[in-house]
Structure 1
Amino acid sequence: MTINVYCSKGHENPSASRFCLHCGEKLDAAINQGIQPGQTLGDRYLIVRQLGQGGFGRTYLAEDINRFRELCVLKEFSPQVQTAYVLKKAEELFQREATVLYQLQHPQIPRFRELFRSNFNGKEYLFLVQDYVEGQTYSSLLDQRLQKGLRFTELEVTELLLQILPVLGYIHSLNVIHRDISPDNLMLRRIDQLPVLIDFGGVKQVAAVVVSQYYQPNTGAVTPPATLLGKFGYAPPEQMQTGLVEPHSDLYALAATALVLLTGKQPSELIDDNTLAWKWRREISLSPTLGIVLDKMLSPIPQQRYQSAQQVLQVLNPPPSYYPPTQPPAPIRIPKSSTAATLAVSPTSPTSPTPPTSHTPHTWWTPDKIILVFLLLTTSAVIAVWGANSLLLSRFDDTKPQPTPTFSPTKQPLDPLAQYSPAERSRKQRLRDRRQRLGIDENFYVSLVNQIFWENNPSLQRRSLTNEPTDEQLRAQWDKTADQLLQKLTLLSSESRQKLGTYGGSDRDRWKVEVNNLNVSSRALYDLGDAAFFQQFPEQESKNYIDQPIGQVWHAFVADKLNAIIARSAFQKINFDPNATSKTVSGNLQSSAGKVFIADLRQDQLMEVNLAANSQIVWSIYSPTGKYVFLEDSKKRSWSGKLPESGFYEFVIVSRSSQPLSYQLTLTVENPTPIPSPTPSDTPTSEPTPTPSDIVTPTPEATSTP
């Protein structure tokens, strides 16, 4: 398995690199031989992969073994000076910062878990452990848009400000300043599409203090320089010059972030070098309100800025809640309270409520009006006896609140299905009950049905279906699509169904580690998942579906196949008896099922393998590193040749039939290596196999026969 190395700026390089291919920085080979995937730290955290690297250490994705293998992030700080004094002082400072981070309890801030020290290869490391956020940074999202000639819209950026300013208000109320807000440190969380504030500068502040105070050649005699943190262009001038920060420092950085997202240009391209004024108006045109707000947040004079997040929120008027997704293609999210929960709906922009206005100005009470009111009140009292009091009050007395008409779009019927015919109401009720019994999230369910409905009806161009009689046939078609999808989702396990809508790259990373521990590649795992998924959704085979709602269903099928491999119902080691050169295994495959076989073989051995099975069973043969693919989804029934490398070879068979089919696999090898019976404690004896994207398919020194 190839381990990439990183420079201090986080640039990724091949493992053998001596210099960074991006910036030219010299790479320390000793440092690059650091913590690797599959290793466990603190007897608790299983490393999945490295996420990046900064000036003070690396960041890792890990599994918390003590918390049901929950994913988390480990931020490393590895002092270059390994003395007891430096380690003690560093840990004291980090403990102080950890105490501050522990106080932050906000849904849009990754939760701090703990601080721990670990010794690895004779070197001491300090780690901060935080929750893992599945999503993309706004920097990454912007890069994706720029590649398509797009940028963030004013509506999107205004929404971002409205969603992140309350978070800043919260941390500032606890006397915490982030210090390092930028598109790199804002993430769009996948599960709810909310921005999340990550990578607090306080951790970097501690690391910088340790460096400046305790890494000097003569520690006691050197006065440490001021600790300056922040990214140039994002941090305000006084922060870069003196290191002093206030709440308005974060507001300055947030406004700079907003302009970068709006213009697609870096701060250095927008700031006048002489005056430090922002020249953004030559790039874009904004509404007067947002333009004035950003200018004030970016004032070079701290006293002229907004002094709190609340002040900015009071000036910004909330825009409509919907805007185009920042991570296309994203699932369409339908509010849980929507009455159209079983319709194909396009998000709409609700109007902002109008503030109540006074109907009683100071000069209203003239003598004539007093007499008029007296007559009105008298008349109302008389008519009240006849039961018509409310009618006249609603007509003449505009100082009293008006009842909301039943046809108002802001008032929903008590029964969302009451507007439909009895037959349609009964049909929708059955669908709702069935979805609830299956434990499928309503928002995901609507998004999934919408996707398939629109794919089947491209002429509709993603328009909303109305509740009018003219759309009755389309609603019936939507419900039929929903019924068919629910039937297919019954094939999934209850656990996998309940996770629909939450799967992501972190799950695939975890699955890879789990199957690699069994000497199985993620490619083989995906072969099993593909067979089950494409059996139900053959139309998706040529499409890019991973980031679509239907991609969640693929993840769920793969998750079930992973459990089958771990349970050994879809996985078997081929063990040769003593002095035997051949081994035959046989069995039955249910509809769209599969099985992975592995055999520990050696380079230059001669191998022949035969599969006796129906033509609807296909198979693949992969080498231990995945570099060689001898057969892939093939209907050939034999292969023979000289093996190019040592390790565990994989034989993956899958059924494309809707009926159970039998198979018989015979493996013949010259001088096979006996393998002990599999036990739960088996560990890999070869490099973990890379994912499909890493695999190339040359087949030197190998021949195949039909």
Structure 2
Amino acid sequence: MDGTEQGEGLIGGRYRILRQLGQGSFGDTYLAEDVHRFQELCVLKEFNPQVEGKPALDKAQMLFEREAGILYQLNHPQIPRFRELLRDQGRLFLVQDYVEGPTYRELLNRRIAYDGPFSEAEVTRLLMQLLPVLQYLHSIGIVHRDISPDNLVQRNADGRPVLIDFGGVKQLVVNVRHQLGVPDPYQSVSGQVTRLGEGGYAPEEQLETGRVDPTTDLYALGMTALVLLTGKEPEQLYDERTQSWTWPDQVSLSPTVRQVLERMVAQTPRDRYVTAGQVMAALNLAQPTSMPASLNQPMPVRMQPMTPPPPLEPPPPPPTRAVVPPPTYDPTATLAAPPRAVPPKRSSSGFWPALGVLFVVVAVLGGLWWWLPALELGFVNREDTLDDTENPAFSEAEQARKQAIRDRALALNVDPTYLTQLTDQFFFEQHPERQGNPLTDQPEDEALRAEWDAIAEANLDLLETNLSTDARSRLGRYNPSDRDRWQRQVNQMYVSSRALYDLTDARFAQIFPDRAAEGFVETPVDQIWSALAQDQVTAMETGEILSEIQFEPDSFSQQVQGTLSPGHGTVYILNLSAEQLMRLNLQAPPDSTRLSFFVPLPDEAVPYLLNNSSQNTWAGELPQTGYYEIVIISRASNPINYRLTTAVDNVIDDIINRPQAPAKSN
């Protein structure tokens, strides 16, 4: 299709094609402008499954829409945002943000023409800027599949590297063709074969079998670094005759950076780094003071302020825990469970309140409240800890195993002392007969020590998968003052702590379906609840799970949609007036969600309009003026799509300037 000819019309009534960017076996890519957003540039990727007949095409498009739902989970400032899937006259387009700037291929060509390839310091900085992006992707189960200098853009706006052209999009097309029964889903009708990964940058197992995991992305990133360092293509850095790398003789590097790159591009997957966090930890050892800590985290994208913040709600008492028998620990369990109700008030007497007071006192005195003797919390002082990695009583294999666990914990920014306490909690729940009888370094406890180590590994898997680097780094140090801080932060965004706790409870229940959140900071596992709460607050601040619904002039309804992963939720706020008539409707798979509709100022008469309800509609007269909250939480075991429709009568133009009700008090 000619870009000029297509540019005479609008795709979907809003996108004007400017020029073709690329041509693929299953669809072309175009640069377009969004006429509804001030001619903002964007990218349109056309999906062409190349199947015959309208029924097959309709089914292909339906399957692609379902498969592409995972793309809308992506929310990172160094990844172009996927805006929408657009149907237009029987054709399907994926709309994505356009990133202005040169690719690193173009930058390398310029450098070679003038002053040579990239330096070690420049490439190390690039790695430290990209590894957190991969860490984010891998944490939500996405592998890029196609990292190379051509798919990295240096953004003009801030000079940061941005990952473009996800190979996973090509894989979605292949998956759809496979589900339709196409004999060779990788080959188009013209005979062109879709390659998932660029030769030389993708490891052998990806090109030969299509198998991918985080190590394949780390391999491709390592090869990209070597190409930028040497100015040579991957095939020029490998000797087929000797089956060995030649790049170590072609570039001068510090010993640590050389070792990092050697491990990243190891031929065998088991010899590579397992996670991006491990690479970051190794590079930090290489240049501990040269990289600012901020490079290890995504750049914050905060909501624009709406109006001056309301008065803060008074700090509510921390949640109390239910006394339940210790459940069997299953670190792989992911089934969703109903989220808890709003945490009940803590009793004013008993052991746990007294211990909570002790925590606060110790925190004020020295910030070391968590490091009380383990026996105070029901755990035992043990000889088998992650600090005991060179005990001569252990076999070399056991010493290596414990050292690997400790190294991985440090790479994930998890304090090994906290990991020891968390593992103790689960271990002694499984072996209550061992309470008060610590593991020793004697041969008779070898099998139990191996079981303990396996639980520690499973705990690291759990923490890596479900928590951000920042949240993990504070495990073992969360205390009641964090609760007050989170409350202030969400209040400033017109969100109540009730909504925050509901979202956190849902995530906690999805991770631990058989375990109620047991308190605030009373046991090591409760620290995970706190870390999840920290991540929820951050996600609200970045706009990932918080949006404001505003009604355009002369418009009385709005519709929003999105995708929720199991146990995840989102919040919408609306600034409305008392006595307005309000209707809301949530469309989602049956029994897959819980819906809450919170009033600005809950009281005994009207504590809420909906609270963790299975019903998906509400209609009535609003009782108060101020910011209402709609909280949607997924209870499904798979990602789900939802559509929320809100409608009001008597919308007024100056709604934002009306007096605000006080913030909610839970």
**Normalised TM-score (structure 1):** 0.40
Higher relative contact order (CA 8 A, sep 6+): 2
Larger radius of gyration: 1
**Normalised TM-score (structure 2):** 0.43
